[in-house]
Structure 1
Amino acid sequence: MARAAGAAIGRLRRRLTLEAPVSTPDELGGVTQVFEVVAAFWAQVEWLAGAEQWRQGRPEQVGTHRVTLRWRGDLDGGKRLRDGDRIFDIRTVADPDGSRRRLVCLAEEVKP
């Protein structure tokens, strides 16, 4: 039985942490959003494309990556992945063949 190239366990060489947003009320009636670590796992991170975008009046470099990992049910857009100092905002999550063996995420890495 042939395996898909992205599914080989030996390709999952990067240790990433999954972070979820947590909102806490502040003293002025608003909320402050911070991220807390939910899990850690091995993944494959592949560069897809890069661009420069203007956000809030300043240029930022944006890199799009494909992140492949073993299937898990707690990944969705709005969460983020961390690789040391690098942060990847999850944009989409898909189970490519519906077998619940692996997930493929498209994520953006933003550098100011």
Structure 2
Amino acid sequence: MTAIGRLSQRLVLERPVAVGDGAGGRVETFAALGEVWAEIVPAGAAEREIAGRLDGVASHRIAIRHRGDVRGGMRFVAADGRVFRILATFDADGRRRRLVCVAEEEGR
């Protein structure tokens, strides 16, 4: 259980949106859904082959107040520019008080 005082990081929650590219195709971009207070806890790191080369991937557990609209494929963006891609979410204690998001940090 995450104590309310530990939700000390301000993040913007974004959802993917497909928009026209002007040439008949579509491009995926992100639209802000709002800001949330969060606790970010590093969960591990690994190497993964991406486009034929090894790349480091940092994973995190991000706890926020419970929301029913958070899904895998969305992302959090921090004020310092860090981006966390949400892979999965779960209600850790089943009481709909906190939502834990398993996320990977992009571009680090």
Give the TM-score, by structure 2 length.
Answer: 0.90
- The one-letter code of the counterpart of 1:56 is A
> CA contact under 8 A between 1:18 and 1:80: conserved in structure 2?
yes
Matched, 1:59 2:54: yes
Identity between Structure 1 and Structure 2 (%): 43
Listed one character per residue, the Cα deviations across residues 29-82 of structure 1 (whole Å, up to 9, x for unaligned) are 221111111110100000010122221234332101000111011100010011
Give, in whole Å, the separation in 1 of the partners of 2:32 and 2:100.
20
Q: Report the 3-state secondary structure (helix = DSSP H, G, I; strand = E; otherwise coil) of the residue aligned with 1:10.
A: helix
Compute the RMSD of aligned alpha carbons. Answer: 1.4
- For structure 1, the residue ranges without an aligned partner over 5 or more in a row are none
- For structure 2, the residue ranges without an aligned partner over 5 or more in a row are none
Tell me which stretches of 4 or more aligned residues in structure 1 moved more than 4 Å: none
Query: What residue is the counterpart of 1:11 in the other structure?
Result: 6
> CA contact under 8 A between 1:19 and 1:80: conserved in structure 2?
yes
Structure-to-structure mapping, 1:97-112, within 5 angstroms: 97-111=93-107
Matched, 1:90 2:67: no
- Higher radius of gyration, 1 or 2: 1
Decide which of 40, 48, 56 is 1:45's aligned counterpart: 40
User: How many residues of Structure 1 are paired with residues of Structure 2 in the alignment?
Assistant: 107
Relative to structure 2, which stretch is displaced further, 92-101 or 54-63? 54-63
